[in-house]
């Protein structure tokens, strides 16, 4: 099996080799820009990793579907940034800020189409399964984004609501990546499903971690403006858990902070951060992340993976949560 760093190089070299610069330039330049500003590349890396558990032949029939996951992910980020009115992505201007909303919408649309074009390169014998998995996942991601926007206009949601939303918005695409690699490698359905469940749990951990970093991370490291979720009244794990554990007076204070205007942005962020600290939310979030991390390892521990395969899956899980372990 290849080291994870080697799988990363397969992804980066594969993306670099794609012909993203086409005409009209105004449509394709933002796509090239979005890919060029980097990212964690977790989804294509995981797809190659689960494939590599069963095969060392990293060629076009697996590489292109893996790249499809990154291209599709880029599409969702471009549109997500428009909806969130985000200014930064990976430390750089978001596409809609660098160009405009119309360009960003259209370039994102093309990326979603390019993902399917790349996906069509997978082995024909598993293409129907892969297309069904990817298409279902793509729709679920959009459903999750819609719930995320719906929740912005609701003062309170339950933790079950939150988990359902991030399962769709974040976890299913990471899970799809794991299952897709296994399917293309010819793994049995029960094995592919176990890898899906493993990655699904990691995906939830990853989103809770993202929520935590949006409020308490370093902008220069995180690549986004800190406090964006607070400004947009996003129903993050931190906010949902706060309402769950707060007393009535603290709930009133949380509600008042959420009612603060965009003009009071810095004050709003500072006050909400202080509320989270006083309620012990940072520590609770870290505990929740590690709970989903452990659940992921329990899932694969029940399968008959070899020690080498288990080590590879453990390394990926560690990489995903390395910043809080």
Average pLDDT in the 135-145 region?
98
Of 79-83, 107-111, 218-222, give the lowest mean pLDDT range: 218-222
- pLDDT of residue 219 exceeding 80, the answer is no
Give the span between the Cα atoms of 298 and 296, in whole angstroms.
Answer: 5
Position 223 scores a pLDDT of 57
Give the span between the Cα atoms of 126 and 185, in whole angstroms.
Answer: 9
Which pLDDT tens digit goes with each residue over 243-284? 999 999 999 999 999 999 989 999 999 999 999 999 999 999
Q: Quick count: other Cβ atoms within 10 Å of Cβ 75?
A: 23
The enclosing domain of 132 has a CATH number of 1.10.600.10
For residue 204, the enclosing domain spans 4-321
Q: Which of these, 215, 202, 206, lies nearest to 269 by C-alpha position?
A: 215
Give the span between the Cα atoms of 256 and 226, in whole angstroms.
Answer: 20
Host H or E run for residue 92: strand 92-93
The pair of three-digit structure tokens given for residue 151, joined into one six-digit string: 């929740």
Position 299 scores a pLDDT of 98
Q: Quick count: other Cβ atoms within 10 Å of Cβ 274?
A: 12
- pLDDT of residue 162 exceeding 60, the answer is yes
Position 323 scores a pLDDT of 53
Position 5 scores a pLDDT of 95
- pLDDT of residue 325 exceeding 50, the answer is no
- pLDDT of residue 220 exceeding 60, the answer is no
pLDDT band at residue 225, thresholds of 50, 70 and 90?
confident
- pLDDT of residue 203 exceeding 90, the answer is yes
**Global pTM value:** 0.95
Give the percent of the chain with pLDDT over 70. 97
Give the span between the Cα atoms of 117 and 119, in whole angstroms.
Answer: 5
Give the percent of the chain with pLDDT over 90. 88
User: Pick the residue with more confidence: 291 or 321?
Assistant: 291
pLDDT band at residue 324, thresholds of 50, 70 and 90?
very low
Give the span between the Cα atoms of 305 and 319, in whole angstroms.
Answer: 20
Asked if residue 198 lies in contact with residue 300, where contact means CB atoms within 8 angstroms, the answer is yes
Total domains present in the chain: 1
Q: Name the H helices within the chain.
A: 4-17, 25-36, 42-52, 60-84, 95-98, 101-119, 127-151, 159-166, 172-184, 189-216, 219-222, 228-231, 237-245, 248-258, 265-278, 281-301, 307-321
Asked if residue 279 lies in contact with residue 250, where contact means CB atoms within 8 angstroms, the answer is yes
Which pLDDT tens digit goes with each residue over 84-136? 888 989 889 999 999 999 999 999 999 999 999 999 999 999 999 999 999 99
Cα 100 to Cα 81, 211, 232: the distances in Å are 12, 27, 20
Position 155 scores a pLDDT of 86
Asked if residue 300 lies in contact with residue 192, where contact means CB atoms within 8 angstroms, the answer is no
Burial call 306-322: b when 16+ CB within 10 Å, e when fewer:
eeebeebbeebbeebbe
Average pLDDT in the 31-38 region?
95
Position 217 scores a pLDDT of 86
Asked if residue 226 lies in contact with residue 219, where contact means CB atoms within 8 angstroms, the answer is yes
Burial of 19 (0-12, 13-18, 19+ CB in 10 A): exposed
């Amino acid at each position: 099996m290849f080291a994870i760093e080697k799988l990363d190089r397969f992804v980066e070299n594969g993306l670099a080799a794609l012909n993203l610069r086409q005409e009209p330039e105004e449509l394709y330049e933002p796509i090239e820009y979005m890919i060029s500003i980097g990212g964690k590349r977790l989804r294509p890396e995981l797809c190659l990793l689960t494939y590599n558990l069963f095969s060392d032949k990293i060629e076009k029939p697996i590489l292109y579907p893996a790249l499809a996951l990154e291209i599709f992910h880029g599409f969702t980020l471009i549109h997500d940034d428009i909806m969130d009115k985000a200014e930064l992505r990976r430390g750089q201007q978001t596409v809609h800020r660098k160009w405009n909303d119309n360009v960003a919408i259209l370039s994102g649309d093309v990326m979603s189409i390019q993902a399917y074009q790349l996906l069509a390169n997978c082995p024909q014998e598993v293409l129907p399964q892969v297309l069904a998995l990817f298409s279902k996942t793509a729709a679920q991601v959009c459903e999750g984004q819609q719930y995320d926007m719906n929740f912005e206009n609701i003062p309170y949601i339950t933790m079950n609501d939150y988990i359902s939303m991030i399962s769709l918005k974040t976890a299913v695409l990471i899970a799809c990546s794991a299952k897709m690699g296994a399917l293309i490698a010819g793994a049995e359905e029960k094995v592919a499903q176990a890898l899906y469940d493993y990655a699904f749990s990691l995906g939830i951990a990853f989103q809770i971690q993202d929520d935590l970093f949006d409020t308490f991370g370093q902008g220069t490291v995180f690549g986004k403006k800190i406090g964006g979720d607070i400004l947009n009244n996003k129903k993050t794990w931190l906010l949902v858990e706060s309402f769950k554990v707060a007393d009535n007076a603290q709930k009133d204070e949380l509600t008042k902070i959420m009612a603060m205007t965009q003009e009071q942005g810095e004050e709003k962020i500072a006050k909400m951060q202080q509320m989270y600290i006083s309620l012990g939310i940072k520590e609770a979030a870290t505990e929740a992340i590690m709970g989903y991390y452990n659940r992921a390892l329990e899932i694969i521990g029940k399968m008959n993976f070899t020690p080498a395969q288990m080590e590879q899956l453990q390394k990926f899980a560690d990489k995903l949560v390395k910043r809080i372990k």
